Amino acid sequence: MFSPYCNNSSYNIVNIKRPIYLTYSFINHWMQIRKKSSVITNEVEVSSTDVLTDETQFRALEKSVTPLCRMPYEKQLVLKQQWTNTVCKEVRSRLHNVKTLITLPKVFPISSSPQINEYRNKDEFNFRPGIDGNPKTLGFFVTNPSKESIYCVSAMKLINMKQSHKDVAQVFEDFVRKSELPASYDHMDGGFWRGIIVRSNLKGDKMAIVVANPRGYTNEIMLDEQRRFNDYLKSMNVDIQSLYFHPSLHTRSSKDSTFILVDGDKYIYEELCGFKFRISPDSFFQINTLAAEVLYHELFNLINPTKTTTLLDLCSGTGTVSVIGSQHVQSCVGIESVAQAVNDAKETAKINNIHNCDFIEGKVEIVLKQVLNELSMTSDLSAVLNPGRAGVHPKVINAIRNNRLINSLAYVSCKADSPITMKNLVELVVNNKKSRPFTLKSIKPVDMFPHTKHCELIFMFKR
């Protein structure tokens, strides 16, 4: 499970649930670029034979999570611009393979992130044995190839994370190490403490979500541990605006929707592009708030909507695109599968006195066709598709292509080189007899994730 970039996860930054060998094809590709260009002076090499020790563990985690952090930021942008060009050529190559010829779209210069350090507004920390053998080590997972073992390494030296998040994680680790209850690495292992999620806004308000495995533990035990941790936070003078307890029976906590408010406010709020957004424990919000403002500014420049435009916001999350776009269009319709995110979007619209947005709960591939039927009288329909790393179901692409009213589509991707995303992009453009294809007009890169190998791309399609 990953999400240093989306969060989608949940991006979330990364808590790896499987072994990672500190190698990435993306970085290998960049290293090939380095051989042909003099723009990169600080080589970032990741060796699969690195041996984890007390001294090397932090560098190993750095190489895994922020592999470009020792490279000047300007050179990071050069690499991501070159990668964007590579993605563009890959799309053309795949279309050529299916006998659809296109001219290369315009690739705009990359937009930088206004903040390059400590920019993440959400981080998730989990337990695993540390290099020293302590079973209650909180952080992120790396693999020691020489021993084929997974170890947990503290995130204290990662520069893309806020110090306030690290401080909360450190206090939580200290508390759990004093607890008689064991840590849980797997939902069937009998352990209790799984980890903690820390969210914050630009003002510094923090939300902490303690994740625990309730299997085999009574409600009395769970309630007592919630109270004890809340008291411990206060005794350590840690200021948390919103503290939640999240009992999860599954390996991936997103399968559970139970969030128990232990203390403080039910929500925190963030200011973005002049609007106030409500943030719940499990709602999606772009991981880099200031860079998200850049992203949405560029997005609407490309869409160029008018007051007669209806904006279709697919995979709408907490309604960010709809809320920001509401000032530019006649109306917005958002579709999102997470119920709490839909509730947040509706409440955000109310808070900002917005009356031209409607949000629908459901999977896009299931409800989109019906929504498009209801919009059949719309004269100007533009769509924004902003899925997670995995892209979208082919039914979504088919529904978009089959609707004659959609002549403008912005596909926003945080992992454009993933197989499904690539397939989505090709299927929008490929020639077939069933529906009229789109033309890929332009690609705009925005660096949402400094020091990492990832970059947000806006693909602008017209027909």
In the block, tokens 């009229």 appear at: 436
Q: What does DSSP say about strands 310-314 and 275-279: parallel, antiparallel, or unpaired?
A: unpaired
Q: What is the DSSP letter of 108?
A: P
Cβ atoms of residues 428 and 102 within 8 Å: no
- Catalytic residue, chosen from 298, 365, 427, 456, is 456
Active site residue 414: yes
- Contact assessment for residue 45 and residue 31, using Cβ atoms and an 8 Å cutoff: yes
CB 318 within 8 A of CB 283: yes
Q: How far is CA 47 from the centre of its chain?
A: 26
Phi-psi region of 191 (alpha: psi -120 to 50; beta: other; left: phi over 0): beta
Closest CA to 325 of 286, 293, 345, 296: 296
Q: Can you tell me the distance from the alpha carbon of 196 to that of 212, in angstroms, rounded to the nearest whole number?
A: 9
Q: How many CB atoms lie within 10 A of CB 52?
A: 22
Q: Residue 146's CB: how many other CB atoms inside 10 A?
A: 10
Select which of 173, 414, 427, 455 is catalytic: 414
Helix (H, G, I), strand (E, B) or coil at 123: strand
Residue 69 annotated as catalytic: no
State the CB neighbour count (10 A cutoff) for residue 404. 12
Distance separating alpha carbons of residues 36 and 26, to the nearest angstrom = 16
The residues annotated with a catalytic role in the active site are: 414, 456
